[in-house]
Amino acid sequence: MTKDYKTVQNESNSEFTEKRSRFIGYCKPVTTEQEAVDFINSRRSEHWNATHNVYAYSLREGNIKRYSDDGEPSGTAGMPVLDVITKNEIYDVCIVVTRYFGGVLLGTGGLVRAYSQGAKVALDAGNVVMMQSCLMCQARCSYNQYGKVSSLIMEIGATIDDTVYEADVLIKFHIKPEYLDKLNKQLADATSGEIQAVSDSEKYFMSEVEK
């Protein structure tokens, strides 16, 4: 599993007007090129009469990045959208910025700013989140040890997902990989070496990105 990464939580859109041109920024979480292409085509179908449907997308798998100016002057539309994605280190996302021309030319700088803004408002509406790689772990203890063991797990920043009460107690939780060794040392110290947490898989969990 690769490192933590940022993506968008929701499919969303937001719009604004710049010198009478209407810009609509759309974004969607995607994990494959086919998903990105399908999203782009759906926006093109919805806005078949728009002046431009500019797009950019970035995928973790294969580190794929694509963009299109869709008829705008080269470098003034698709690349600025991709730049917003790249500079914010966001992956597995596709953005389409639709433009309805309002009769006033924006110029090269104006186009770059407008399409950048379209990407930004789309990402804001989509809610950028952090996908954190965590180890799926479990620790088995006696009922007498449960209070101490569960407290240590939570105090180190892990999240308890389930607790199974049988002849003893099985605590299932997820934790950042860099904290597991420290937790096991604390568990060993607290239980005279009786309790150790073991990991059997990894999984991504979503968390909010600090603004």
Q: Are 25 and 15 in contact (CB under 8 A)?
A: yes
pTM (2 decimals)? 0.83
Task: Output the pLDDT for position 6.
Answer: 95
Task: Output the pLDDT for position 55.
Answer: 98
The structural domains of the chain, ordered by start, are 5-126 (3.30.230.30), 131-208 (3.30.70.240)
Mapping DSSP to helix (H, G, I), strand (E, B) and coil, where does residue 11 land? coil
Residue 66: pLDDT band with limits 50, 70, 90: very high
Cα–Cα distances in angstroms (integers) from residue 11 to residues 15, 36, 42, 58, 152, in the given order = 14, 12, 13, 15, 38
Task: Output the pLDDT for position 209.
Answer: 76
Q: How far apart are CA 202 and CA 126, in angstroms?
A: 26
Nearest to 46 by CA among 117, 118, 121, 96: 96
Structure confidence by residue, pLDDT tens digits, 180-190: 999 999 999 99
Structure confidence by residue, pLDDT tens digits, 86-116: 999 999 999 999 999 999 999 999 999 999 9
Task: Output the pLDDT for position 3.
Answer: 85
Amino acid letter, residue 73? P
Supply the DSSP symbol for 62: G
Angle between helices 143-155 and 180-190 (to 10 degrees): 150
Nearest to 13 by CA among 2, 22, 26, 4: 26
Task: Output the pLDDT for position 43.
Answer: 97
Rounded average pLDDT over 116-129: 96
Indicate whether 39 pLDDT > 90.
yes
Q: pLDDT over 70 for what percent of the chain?
A: 98
Q: How far apart are CA 152 and CA 24, in angstroms?
A: 49
Indicate whether 150 pLDDT > 60.
yes
Structure confidence by residue, pLDDT tens digits, 151-163: 999 999 999 999 9
Pair of tokens at residue 149: 């063991």
Q: How far apart are CA 154 and CA 161, in angstroms?
A: 11
Task: Output the pLDDT for position 2.
Answer: 58
Indicate whether 8 pLDDT > 70.
yes
